[in-house]
């Protein structure tokens, strides 16, 4: 056996997406919330790459349209965080606000928890679960949100190029 200083704090540990998924599942299964750093831009601008987000257990209730949920993605088998855009008989239609395509309909048991907090640069972002979430779900369902965000980005880039 090696001499010990065996408990190491975080250090250089990098968690793979699979490991993160497993740990999130373990924590939520205990009825506790899971806080981690988000990666990717599929929920931008509401969740941006590098934001620290908290996913809380649903505690037996069903997710609501407009809520942002963590789930096991059917294609990758890994955890993802997208919005519920419609509840249907077979489950829930999910889509990233900034995604071109929906994730498909997922049964409720594949949904791990619901997003309850977003912290960006140390500040808590408001409106994660606000009354506008159903409208955002409607826009996201029709693809209008992704198109609108794309238009806004082009507009901003155009303005920046046109600036004196």
Partner 1 sequence: MSEEVRFDDAYVPSEDVVAREIEGEIVIIPLVSDIGDIEDELYTLNETGRAVWGKLDGARPLRRVAAELAEEFEAPIEDIERDVLGLVRELVSRRMVVKKD
Site string for partner 1, 20-59 (x = CB under 8 A): x-xx--xx--xxxxxxxx--------------x-x-----
Q: Report residue 3 CA to chain centroid gap.
A: 42
When asked if residue 125 is in the footprint of partner 1 (CB under 8 A), the reply is no
121 part of the interface to partner 1, by CB under 8 A: no
38, burial (CB in 10 Å: exposed 0-12, middle 13-18, buried 19+): buried
Distance CA 136, CA 123 (A): 22
Residue 7, phi-psi category: left (phi > 0), alpha (psi -120 to 50), beta (remainder)? beta
- Contact flag: residue 13 with partner 1 (CB under 8 A): yes
Three-state SS at 14? coil
Which window, 16-24, 40-48, 121-129, 154-162, contacts partner 1 (CB under 8 A)?
16-24
Cβ at position 13, least distance to partner 1 in Å: 6
Binding site for partner 1 (CB under 8 A): 1-4, 6-11, 13, 15-16, 19-20, 22-23, 26-27, 30-37, 52, 54
């Amino acid at each position: 056996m090696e001499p010990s200083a065996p408990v190491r704090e975080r250090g250089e540990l990098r968690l793979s997406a699979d490991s993160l998924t497993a740990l999130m599942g373990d924590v939520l299964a205990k009825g506790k919330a899971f806080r981690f750093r988000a990666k990717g831009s599929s929920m931008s601008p509401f969740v941006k790459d590098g934001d620290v987000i908290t996913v809380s257990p649903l505690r037996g209730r069903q997710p609501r349209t407009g809520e942002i949920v963590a789930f096991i993605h059917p294609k990758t088998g890994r955890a993802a965080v997208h919005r519920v855009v419609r509840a249907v008989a077979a489950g829930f239609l999910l889509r990233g606000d900034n995604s071109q395509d929906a994730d498909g309909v997922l049964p409720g048991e594949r949904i791990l928890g619901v997003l309850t907090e977003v912290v960006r640069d140390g500040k808590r972002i408001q409106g994660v679960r606000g009354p506008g979430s159903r409208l955002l779900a409607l826009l996201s369902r029709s693809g209008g949100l992704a198109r609108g965000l794309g238009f806004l980005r082009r507009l901003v880039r155009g303005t920046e190029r046109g600036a004196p």
